[in-house]
Amino acid sequence: MTPPSPPLPKTAPPQIFDRARLAARRDRIARTFANYDFLRQRVIDDLESRASDTPRLFERGLELGSAGGELSSRLLASGKVRSMLAADTAEAFVDAARARGLEAAIADEEALPFAPASFDLVLAPLTLHWVNDLPGALTQIRRILKPDGLFLGALFGAGTLIELRSVLTEAESEISGGLAPRLSPLPGLRDMAGLMQRAGFALPVADRDTVTVRFPDPGRLLAELKGMGERAAFTPGTAQPLPRRVFADAKARYIEAFGQADGRIPATFEIVHVSGWAPGPGQPQPLKPGSAKVSLADAVRRSQGGGA
């Protein structure tokens, strides 16, 4: 009898992003971040609203990628959460949160330093798109939630900066005869819905908010991305410097293809929102296939006044 084959070794996820470089970058931008955080402000408004619409109070919450902890402060002030921990990879942001009077700590989304079932609310505003192992990070978030705890997150999706991606691709392909990584790979809406299910969340939901922002020129767009901390930070050896000739050609293409009558250029940002619950007793469960009591055809006839 042939012995069973040994299990295949688990492969580590590819290290696309340099996490230490990202943390150092967040430290550098912390002092001026409020000048560039307009998209994050939109996201924390949305997350605060979604948390407030949930018909329950939370005992202990965690905000990942908290920056200065504004969202944590709002939720505490509203009485929706009894206590909050603001966590970030950058010491400067942790210090800023503490200056607000918040409990704050260093924490990396790729290796969360919290015990299982520590929180009944976890929020992640615009941070998870920089994680190398997104399925693993979501699984860790589900693990640190108490049963029936809620996760609310938002991250940039695949439709983000589609204009910039297209002109860079065209310019580099034509001038250099090939492509190098320039902008971060981002998940799509369906990707996130599947990853939430894979991570073990109950009742997962994914939706998106598409925002178009106008800038005076491509150079200002890149400056704003830098101020947000959203410029790519690939691991060493992954990417090569962008040749000046390619950059100049891409800027010209951007203006030609997308420039508007007033001379400004648009940039699209796709924000994917996800929510899910840690499995717990008493949660609604989907019906088993074939268990419906009324057929869809009967329901349609009745809605059209056709009777039984």
Which residues form the domain of 210?
19-158+186-215+266-280
pLDDT of 288 > 90? The answer is: no
pLDDT of 219 > 50? The answer is: yes
Across 4-8, 127-131, 289-293, least confident range:
4-8
Share of the chain above pLDDT 90, in %: 74
Using alpha carbons only, what angle is made at residue 254 by residues 250 and 256, rounded to the nearest 5 degrees?
115
For residue 118, what is the domain's CATH number?
3.40.50.150
Which has the closest alpha carbon to 210: 255, 249, 157, 174? Answer: 157
**Hey, what long-range contacts does 111-115 have (CB within 8 A, 24 or more apart)?**
111/140, 112/137, 112/140, 112/141, 112/144, 114/62, 114/144, 115/144
118 within domain boundaries: yes
HEC-encoded secondary structure of 25-48: HHHHHHHHHHHCCHHHHHHHHHHH
The mean pLDDT of 74-102, rounded to a whole number, is 97
Number of domains present in the structure of the chain: 1
The mean pLDDT of 41-50, rounded to a whole number, is 98
Q: Residue 3's pLDDT is what?
A: 47
CB 97 within 8 A of CB 88: yes
Give Rg (Cα) of the chain: 23
Q: Residue 285's pLDDT is what?
A: 60
Helix, strand or coil, per DSSP, at residue 162? helix
Task: Name the band, by pLDDT with cuts 50, 70 and 90, for residue 305.
Answer: low
Give the tens place of pLDDT for each residue, 8-45: 445 677 888 899 999 999 999 999 999 999 999 999 99
Q: Residue 234's pLDDT is what?
A: 77
301 within domain boundaries: no
Q: Residue 36's pLDDT is what?
A: 96
pTM exceeds cut of 0.75: yes
249 within domain boundaries: no
**Amino acid at site 162:** I
d(CA 140, CA 114): 9
d(CA 62, CA 81): 10
Q: Residue 172's pLDDT is what?
A: 83
121 within domain boundaries: yes
> Strands 119-125, 145-156: parallel, antiparallel or unpaired by DSSP?
parallel
Give the tens place of pLDDT for each residue, 235-276: 876 667 778 898 899 999 999 999 999 999 999 999 999 999
Q: Residue 14's pLDDT is what?
A: 81
The mean pLDDT of 161-178, rounded to a whole number, is 86
Share of the chain above pLDDT 70, in %: 85
Residues 6+ apart with CB under 8 A from 93: 26, 27, 30, 33, 66, 67, 68, 69
The mean pLDDT of 213-230, rounded to a whole number, is 95
96 within domain boundaries: yes
pLDDT of 51 > 50? The answer is: yes
Give the tens place of pLDDT for each residue, 289-304: 554 454 444 544 554 5
